[in-house]
């Protein structure tokens, strides 16, 4: 008889052991760490290219939060600084299997990144699609490109909570 309990690990009528819902959640959680690590490492290393510096200049220059980076460091310097931050974030997230404490720092850095980039929705010219009446109708670039950071922020917050819980559990042992 089949059951819908995700924690049930009894065998079904064919003798196959069911995948535990808890096991699947643990695997998915770990996969999220590595997916985010890949994103941060890839984007971070791209920040060292002139192509990327030119591509994000408008986002940085129009932000009241980070626009001063451009004035102090220049667009290439600001982009390189972001690259270092993103590569470090990716490495810290990837160290989740080694240390939940280290991944807590990486997840916090990840959340901070996406909190800042989501503000670009309100500060970057061209986010609203003029042909559709402007904001809240989003242009493909940069509007829809930036909106995906809402999901990435949510993942970052999940990873932060998971890392903190794992760190507390490890400390309690």
pLDDT at residue number 41: 98
From 49-53, 155-159, 168-172, the region with the lowest mean pLDDT: 168-172
Domain span at residue 31?
22-172
Residue 15 lies in a domain: no
- Domain total of the chain: 1
Is pLDDT above 70 for 165?
A: yes
Is pLDDT above 50 for 139?
A: yes
Q: Is the dihedral of CA 45, 90, 121, 28 positive or negative?
A: positive
* CB neighbours of residue 37 within 10 Å: 21
Q: Which position has the higher pLDDT, 26 or 20?
A: 26
Tokens of 122: 């309100």
Tens-digit pLDDT profile for residues 51-68: 999 999 999 999 999 999
State mean pLDDT over 8-26: 65
State mean pLDDT over 12-28: 72
Contact 43, 53 (CB under 8 A): no
Record the pTM. 0.85
Is pLDDT above 60 for 19?
A: no
Is pLDDT above 50 for 88?
A: yes
**With bands split at pLDDT 50, 70 and 90, how would you rate the model's confidence at 21?**
confident
CA distances from 44 to 12, 75, 87, 94, 162 (A): 46, 15, 5, 14, 24
Is pLDDT above 60 for 14?
A: no
DSSP letter assigned to residue 15: S
């Amino acid at each position: 008889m089949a059951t819908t309990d995700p924690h049930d690990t009894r065998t079904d009528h064919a003798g196959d052991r069911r995948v535990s819902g808890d096991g699947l959640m643990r695997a998915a959680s770990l996969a999220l760490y590595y997916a985010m690590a890949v994103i941060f490492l890839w984007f971070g290393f791209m920040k060292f290219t002139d192509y990327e510096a030119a591509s994000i200049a408008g986002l940085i220059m129009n932000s009241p939060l980070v626009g001063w980076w451009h004035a102090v460091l220049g667009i290439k310097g600001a982009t390189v600084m972001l690259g270092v931050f993103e590569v470090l974030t990716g490495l810290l997230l990837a160290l989740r299997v080694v240390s939940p404490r280290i991944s807590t720092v990486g997840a916090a850095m990840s959340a901070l990144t996406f909190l800042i980039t989501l503000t670009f929705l309100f500060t970057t010219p061209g986010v609203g699609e003029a042909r559709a009446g402007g904001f809240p109708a989003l242009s493909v670039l940069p509007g829809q490109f930036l909106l995906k950071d809402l999901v990435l922020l949510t993942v970052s917050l999940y990873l932060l909570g998971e890392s903190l819980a794992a760190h507390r559990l490890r400390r309690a042992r």
